[in-house]
Structure 1
């Protein structure tokens, strides 16, 4: 017999620390190439160094931090080659997610995605808001595939995407075009057209690479 009265799972302190650092990296508070000062971070977060080190180790394993011998721990720097490589991985994850969605209740998934497209359209004129909804669209796309592995890998890639957008915001504009691109992706998924959705995602990723690497 299943028991529903059992201890609640609580998120560990290192996990909470890793998430806070991940968000700080994503939103530019910890900038690309910045060195992490262990003592200062422990003071700011109000934690001891043991859990902090474990949290930072998790981000090192994810690839968001890099340890340089005899120098310390640094936030990765998203070069043009890194951006291209990140979008290569993102494209693979999102195209797999779209394929899985189309094999299921694609009409409901398409409607959920359309909801974010409408919000993106309403936010035109506010680049920061459009950028956040853009990212939310892709997070929802992968979430709708109902694959914990795709979602786990995608989380790190989305953090890197945010890093790029915050660092290169001046080159990542064109809200109207972005609304249209996302609308077409949502329409293809709603229609259950996997091949079209795949082509649109490839074009969308290529367009993002061009905008983020043209300086």
Structure 2
């Protein structure tokens, strides 16, 4: 089955609302559906080749996740993120990822550092070839791997939604870093601190990285 320009593909009539939500979530994250776009239930049902029921359920899931917002008498729209939203997203990410770092340091810092080093290598290769899209993808994969290493399902669930919102921010803006090496270096410091069991250092570098991202994103929006 052929995909449309925004990546949506017809799916089996037996497919669950979860599969529809996954495709819509990816389209929002990638910017295929821009912030402020209206999504119509009937149109989406036709494009997915399913009834309106599972589409409605999928869209309500995204409302609960904060990716769509309901406007009375008008319908559902892709959430538009403000500077205040960005600050809140990164504050929440800092809390979640700091908690993950603390658990990692209690359990398996060296193993986690080795896992993160592999993702960091992808970031480095993307930076070396000037591939900003691949660099951004590897950046988010790094933070996803960091939280996954905590082995906390609840932290992972919270991080998933926050990283989706982060991708929404990044897809709507030009590259934030004038030199890709700055981004790589920030992550390298976090990995080294975890490897050395330096909890205070890891948390300090993580917090600095998040604050730097807030400043750069806010400057782009002003």
Same fold (TM over 0.5): yes
Q: How many residues align?
A: 205
Instruction: Give the equivalent residue in structure 2 for 1:7.
Output: none
Alpha-carbon distance between aligned partners in 2 of 1:57 and 1:173, rounded to the nearest angstrom? 38
Q: Please say if residues 101 and 144 of structure 1, whose CA atoms lie closer than 8 Å, have aligned partners that are also in contact.
A: yes
TM-score normalised to structure 1 length:
0.92
1:70: Cα distance to partner? 0.8
Q: Which has the higher contact order (CA 8 A, sep 6+)?
A: 1
Alpha-carbon distance between aligned partners in 1 of 2:176 and 2:95, rounded to the nearest angstrom? 24
Alpha-carbon distance between aligned partners in 2 of 1:28 and 1:44, rounded to the nearest angstrom? 18
Alpha-carbon distance between aligned partners in 2 of 1:95 and 1:174, rounded to the nearest angstrom? 26
How do residues 196-207 of structure 1 correspond to structure 2 at under 5 angstroms? 196-207=201-212
TM-score normalised to structure 2 length:
0.89
Establish whether residue 138 from structure 1 lines up as the match of residue 147 from structure 2. Answer: no
Instruction: Give the equivalent residue in structure 2 for 1:149.
Output: 154
> Counterpart of 2:166 in 1: which secondary structure?
helix
Instruction: Give the equivalent residue in structure 2 for 1:23.
Output: 26
Q: Please say if residues 103 and 192 of structure 1, whose CA atoms lie closer than 8 Å, have aligned partners that are also in contact.
A: no
1:173: Cα distance to partner? 4.7
Of residues 60, 64, 68, the one that matches 1:61 is: 64
Instruction: Give the equivalent residue in structure 2 for 1:3.
Output: none
1:171: Cα distance to partner? 3.5
1:174: Cα distance to partner? 3.2
Unaligned runs of 5+ in 2: 1-13
Q: Please say if residues 117 and 179 of structure 1, whose CA atoms lie closer than 8 Å, have aligned partners that are also in contact.
A: yes
Unaligned runs of 5+ in 1: 1-10
Q: Please say if residues 27 and 166 of structure 1, whose CA atoms lie closer than 8 Å, have aligned partners that are also in contact.
A: yes
Establish whether residue 83 from structure 1 lines up as the match of residue 96 from structure 2. Answer: no
Establish whether residue 98 from structure 1 lines up as the match of residue 101 from structure 2. Answer: yes
> Counterpart of 1:66 in 2: which secondary structure?
strand
